[in-house]
A and B are shown apart, each in its own frame.
Chain A
Amino acid sequence: MQYLVSVIYDASDLATPEEMAAIDVFNDGLIAAGHWVFAGGLAAPGSATVIDNRGEEAILTDGPFVESKEFLAGFWIIDAADLDVALKLAAAGSKACNRKVEVRPFR
């Protein structure tokens, strides 16, 4: 069972060296225990472009699809037996990157 662990943040600063080091330790643990699927950090929401090609031609819009104070700053995709395991991992991830996270199952 795979879960998306989204990192939620509301400022433009990047992870500090301490946070990066903690994230590395956390990632190593994920890999060692077989939970790792994928992870990545995202550039600021202002760098996003929305494309809608359902009509005649592709329409481009500058900026993210939803403007909000909080945005997706990065994510993990983890493999876990059930939500209890996923929540424990996500709690450790939140501690490591020092940000709020959201856990959402894949279908």
Chain B
Amino acid sequence: MSGADVREVITQVHREEWARVVASLTRRFGDLDIAEEAAAEAFGAAVERWPAGGVPPNPGAWLTTTASRKAIDRLRRESKRADKHKEAQVLYDDDPPEPAGAIDDDRLRLIFTCCHPALAMQTRVALTLRMVGGLTVPEIARAFLIQESAMEQRITRAKAKIKAARIPYRVPSAADLPARLSGVLTVLFLVFNEGYLATGPGTDPVRPGLTAEAIRLTRVIRALVPADGEVAGLLALMLLIEARRTARVSAGGELVTLDEQDRRAWDAELIAEGHRLVRERLATREAPGRYQLLAAINAVHTSAGDVRDTDWSQIVALYDQLVRLDPSPVIALNRAIAVAELDGPEVALAAVDRLADRLAEYHAFHATRADLLRRLGRGDQSRAAYDKAIELTRNTAEAASLRRRRDQLGLALRGSFSMIMKGRVG
């Protein structure tokens, strides 16, 4: 095997085995910090030794064994210094062993620990990417545009809190599981969204690394709890959004709205997988949760080969279900966008204006109003709404798209073009 091939293998093994190694060491040594450091050292040893000595037959087992030795070495060194290392042997899990077939995977314990509600949301995201995703601290710092030292400190503090406050390393009890699992999905969706609509000046508008990582981690959870509808729903939702990624940003770096996208550029394989998951959930006849409904809405969009073939009544019906589940104004705003296609912009604008109090600082609220006002021929009001949306958005590609639409508005009015622009979905 060439050096390049070995590096390729190590990258793949890292992707597949990192969380397993960290998780099994955390279980054995009861300490995330030791587990993380030893896992990193073991992968370092692989990079050093595998090119010359060859890739071992079972790379995962080799890494776990090597990491365990590194951890024991560290504990011996520390015990000589501090003359107490017994506490590192403490396992926080004092539940009886779970019966075979029950959810029992160290990685799942690891995910629940990293997404514990006693940690701040940003901390949960960072810790999950580090411990479960295997991203390095500099990678995570770059993804969230903060100083490496600040990210390092955030992760170090979190590990210290987990240890000092004894945040347990276990899968929550059946009674707590739905709420805790939903917390994990929130973290994964946050990671995905940050990749999908990155915020901040001077950043790439889309960061495929983060969306891919979120999808990969959601797949891991899905494999661990295959019967959970919301996990399947979130995975389907991510796949159906990811499928449109390349069509979402133009060559000029501008965000392309759903109705303007070249649908031939969508990833057919991801769409097929997303649709399969949505159908699988429909077949269970269980009441769908939030992510399943969002996935179903995206499935309807991605079923239309042309925007004009979109089944808007189906989309509005799904939004009606979603509004009952989640009465947030953002959902109501998205419902209004679909209503515009079904009942016209005037009805939609009335619905949007009812949200003004709660969404005054939300860029998409103003962008939606701007589009509806434009379609109603109310140019001046439309322009003002575009201005407000541009002022509020933190995504560079979206700002470019909004500016273009605003400027076209001027052209259309001055040149008295007939309405060449039709509705946009966002």
B165 touches A83 (CB 8 A): yes
Contact with A81, one of B94, B116, B164, B165 (Cβ below 8 angstroms): B94
Number of interface residues of B (CB under 8 A): 11
> Would you call the interface of chain A mostly helix, strand, loop, or mixed?
mixed
Residues of B near A62 (CB, < 8 A) are none
How far apart sit A82 and B172, CA to CA, in the bound complex (Å)?
12
**Which residues from chain B contact A87 at a C-beta distance below 8 Å?**
118
Interface status of B167 (Cβ within 8 A of chain A): yes
Interface string of A43-85 (1 = CB under 8 A from B): 0000000000000000000000000000000000000011110
A82–B168 CB distance below 8 A = yes
Q: Which residues of A contact B (CB under 8 A)?
A: 1, 3, 81-84, 86-87, 103-105, 107
Interface hub of B94, B116, B166, B167 (most chain A Cβ within 10 A)? B166
On whether the beta carbons of A1 and B164 are closer than 8 Å, the reply is no
Those of B150-185 within 8 Å (CB) of chain A: 164-168, 172, 176
- Can you sample 13 A-B contacts with CB below 8 Å? A3-B165, A83-B118, A83-B165, A83-B166, A84-B168, A84-B172, A84-B176, A86-B165, A87-B118, A103-B165, A104-B165, A105-B164, A105-B165
B325 to chain A minimum Cβ distance, whole angstroms, is: 25
Interface SS of chain B: helix, strand, loop or mixed? loop
Contact of A1 among B116, B166, B172, B176 (CB under 8 A): B166
Q: How many angstroms from the CA of A103 to the CA of B94 in the assembled complex?
A: 21
What are the residues of chain B within 8 A of A81 when measuring CB–CB? 94, 166, 168
Tell me if B92 counts as interface (CB < 8 A to partner A).
yes
Nearest CB of chain A from residue B115's CB, rounded to whole Å: 13
A39 to chain B, nearest CB (A): 20
Collect the chain B residues with CB atoms within 8 Å of residue A107's CB: 164
A81's nearest neighbour on chain B, judged by CB, is B94
CB-CB nearest in chain B for A106:
B164
| A86 to B116 CA separation, bound complex (whole angstroms) | 14
Q: How far apart sit A35 and B191, CA to CA, in the bound complex (Å)? A: 38
Q: How far is the CA of A103 from the CA of B176 in the complex (A)?
A: 20
